[in-house]
Structures are given as C-alpha cells and as structure tokens.
Amino acid sequence: MKRKIAVMLGVTMAMGLFAGCGAENSETSSGGTVTGGTETGVSEKEKTDGTADTDEIHIWHDGDETIMQVIEDQVNDSLAEDHVTVKFEKKSGLTDQIKLYGNDAESGPDMYLYAHDSLGTFVEMGVLAPITDVIDESVYADMLPMTQEAGQYKEEQYLLPVYFETLLFMYNKDTWEGEVPSTTEDLYSYMEAHTDTAAGTYAVVNQHSTAYNVAPVINGFGGYIIDKDAKPGLNDEKTKEAITYNKKFAELEADGDYNTVTALFNEGKASAIIGGPWLVSGIREAGINLGIRSLSDFTLPNGEALAPYAGVQGIGVMKHAADTKKDAIAAVLKALAQPEVGVALASQANCAPANAKSYDTPEVSENEMIAAMKKTAETAQPMPNIPEMSVMWGPAESLLAAVNKSGEDVDAAADQYEEEAETAIADMQ
C-alpha cells in the first residue's frame, strides 16, 4: 500500500491541467480544507462568562483563490451567529502536503477542497473520515447525483460536492453554418463537408488521442478505461469499438496538443472545439462569438449520448477534526450545502454548482455554459477516484496514439497496452 500511495503522489492529476471554472486566470483545479464550527450555534469551547469563543476551521486547497474567496465569504456569512469561521489556505502540491500533515491536528488542515479523483489516495492514507460521521445524508440530498457519486469511495460518502467541470461542445456562431447536429453521425457529415486539412481549416478540433477527451465516446459505447474494481478495460470489446469509431473523427481533426487545438479555434481556423470551461476566458478574449452545447445533446449510433468524464470539486474532513470538532465541522458542511453557495459560485466565478437547487435561480439557469454543464451531468461519469487510475492515462493515451497516429491494428494495440496497464497496477502493490 505504501508503494501504491507513493506512485500516486508522483502523478499529476488529470484535472490539474484545467483552470478553475470560467474565471480569467490560469489556476489549476481546486483543492482546500476547512476547520471547526458548530452545528447548534454554540461553540465547543465556552468562556467562563458564558460567551462563546469562535472556532476557526482551516481548509487547504490548491486551486483558484478567487473561487475559494467566494466560498469563504458565503460560508462565513452563513456562520456569523454560530461562532465558527472558515479560512481557506492555498497549498501547492496538496497531495504531498496532506500526506505529511493529514493526521497532524496542530499543523495540518481540518478539511480540504480538491478534485474528487484524488479521493481514493487520501482514504487509503487513512487521513479522512466519511462526512456521514458528522452530518446526516439529508444535508447533501440536493446535490446532483453524479456529483454525489464522485465523492463516494468503497460505498462511503467522503466528499461534499461543491462544483464541477466537464467537457462541452463550443462553437463559433459566426463561422458555424446552420444548426448544430444532434447525432455524431450528422456531426461527422458536417466535418467532412467543412474540413480542409491541407489548408489547415477544420470544422471541429479535439485532442483526439487524449484519453480524457475521448472518454465521451468510450463511455457512451459502454466501454471503460478502468472499472471500480481496478480492472483495466483497454481491450474490452466496447472500448475497442469506441476507439475505432473515434478514429474516423480523428482523421478530420488537427493532430495537435492542447495548445495547438485551442489556438486553431481562437484564431478562427476551426469552427468548433471539444473543451471545458477553462477555455472560456481565452475564447472571449479572442473575440469569438461563442456558442455552447452539452455533449449530452449528441447521440451515438448505439442510441446512447456522449458521456464525458466530470471532475468534481468537493470538501473532505480529516479524521482528527471529525473526532475533536464534530459540531463545528457539521456546521461548516451544512453551510456549504446551501444553494446560495452555488449561486454565488455561478454568478461570481462562472462555476457549475453541485447543488441542484442553485439552478432554480435565473442567474444560474440562464448562464449558457453552466446550463450546458448541468445537462451534461445527466450522462457524464465521474472520473474514477481509485488510486489505480493514476497509471491508466499513459497506457490509454499510448493506445489512442497507436491507432490514430500510427495506424496500428486496434486489437493488437489494445492487447499490448492492456498488458502494460495490468503491469503498472501490479507494480503499485
């Protein structure tokens, strides 16, 4: 297990590539922690004169400080009469920091906010308590089901989801001709008619050999990169079917990395891009007349919708804080679960709230990007949060590159990289 955790600590989380929500900054995905609060409005510490001390709950994160400030302000306003405050503190290399201080009540956090795909690693470290140790399930009952699922590990709820990100279909309203298709086959026909690879102009660009960007097709076909039991699925028949299907789209897309495909869209050389909210500020700065559609709007030949991965930012509780500051932690979690937190995140930071009730507010539901992400949450799958996922990106992307760029046989390549994945997982033990 120590070897497994050590491997995980050396791997960059996939969501760390992306900026927080639609904010105009380059921060990576968020993380953080919170400390002490009360559930009843009375601090766990009482002064002799009957007045209450204020408990400060420390929350570590590694994300966009503007987003964290929005959350901090909302929660502290809510807890004003409870003698509890939260303080977000940025910690670069949060995974390493939690490894060192997760069980340290003096120097470590009380809570943390981070991408959900790190959850399995933290649980296996033995530093987290299920949030159900301090609050009832009813507290988070209004969260979108996909976001709740993201915070579960081994059938326990460890994270309270706060907001999420996922891939979207973004298009230039000034260059896209006609309506956006509703099926992937019609989209392919549009791409055939509007792509000139020799001239360097494209209908749609996507990182066609990046596993995260191909996951909508793989998941939609019923395939998988890795299952909940840590079994790789690279040579699963449905995975291979999806990779074969994706190849024809790849042939009409630029063979480029993240920066290349983003530049093609921002420079008007591509009419659409598959990307996430982290692209929005750059697109708007480039003067693109942006339109956004949910990937759930596109139906595959099997009748299923595209099903991208989603990254959920959630709050977790350290074991020592759950034991010694239970009432305060409960108060903080209840404050975080209020729909007003999601409304503030949407209006001030362009984030998609995890709380379904936040979407009852017009300023949230009428935000085109956020509304598209909420719809996508109906088919999106949380990125696997088991530690073994960390070693799957390499073999999965090598497989995609072998098929899309080198023209290798899908069956042979899938068997090769399935074996590599199995070896990598075995080496974690």
346-363 pLDDT, tens digit each: 999 999 999 999 999 999
User: Which alpha helices (DSSP H) does 42-175 contain, by range?
Assistant: 65-78, 94-101, 119-125, 145-150
How distant is the alpha carbon of residue 429 from its chain centre?
A: 26
> Is residue 428 scored above 50 in pLDDT?
yes
- Examine domains 2-166+310-382 and 168-309+387-428 and report if their fold is the same: yes
pLDDT digits (tens, 9 = 90+) for 318-336: 999 999 999 999 999 999 9
**CA–CA gap between residue 170 and residue 3 (Å, rounded):** 41
Amino acid, res. 328: A
| Answer CATH for 168-309+387-428 from 3.40.50.150, 3.30.390.30, 3.40.50.300, 3.40.190.10 | 3.40.190.10
The domains of the chain are located at 2-166+310-382, 168-309+387-428
The full DSSP string for 199-250 is TTBEEEE--TT-HHHHHHHHHHTT--SB-TTS-B-TT-HHHHHHHHHHHHHH
Q: Which of 40-54, 229-243, 311-325, 358-372 has the lowest mean pLDDT?
A: 40-54
> Is residue 52 scored above 90 in pLDDT?
no
**CA–CA gap between residue 81 and residue 39 (Å, rounded):** 11
* Angle at which helices 65-78 and 326-336 cross, to 10°: 110
- DSSP H or E segment with residue 315: strand 309-318
> Is residue 27 scored above 90 in pLDDT?
no
Residue 280 — very low, low, confident or very high, per pLDDT cuts 50/70/90? very high
| Alpha carbon separation from 367 to 88, 249, 309, 358 (Å, rounded) | 27, 30, 21, 12
Once rounded to an integer, what is the mean pLDDT over residues 51-75?
A: 92
Q: CA 39, 359, 157 angle in degrees (round to 5)?
A: 45
Residue 54 — very low, low, confident or very high, per pLDDT cuts 50/70/90? confident
Residue 45 — very low, low, confident or very high, per pLDDT cuts 50/70/90? very low
Give the gyration radius of the chain's Cα atoms.
Answer: 22
166: phi then psi, degrees, rounded to nearest 5: -160, 170
More confident residue, 45 or 216: 216
**CA–CA gap between residue 307 and residue 376 (Å, rounded):** 8
| Per-residue pLDDT at 40 | 35
- DSSP H or E segment with residue 100: helix 94-101
Once rounded to an integer, what is the mean pLDDT over residues 114-130?
A: 98
Amino acid, res. 47: K
Q: What is the CATH number of domain 2-166+310-382?
A: 3.40.190.10
Asked whether 114 and 314 are in contact (CB, 8 A), the reply is: yes
pLDDT digits (tens, 9 = 90+) for 126-153: 999 999 999 999 999 999 999 999 999 9
Distance spanning both ends of the chain, measured CA to CA: 6
> Is residue 113 scored above 60 in pLDDT?
yes
Once rounded to an integer, what is the mean pLDDT over residues 237-265?
A: 96
Once rounded to an integer, what is the mean pLDDT over residues 357-370?
A: 98
pTM higher than 0.75 for the full model? yes
> Is residue 23 scored above 70 in pLDDT?
no
Q: Helix (H, G, I), strand (E, B), or coil: what is residue 92? A: coil
The percentage of residues in the chain with a pLDDT greater than 90, rounded to a whole number, is: 86
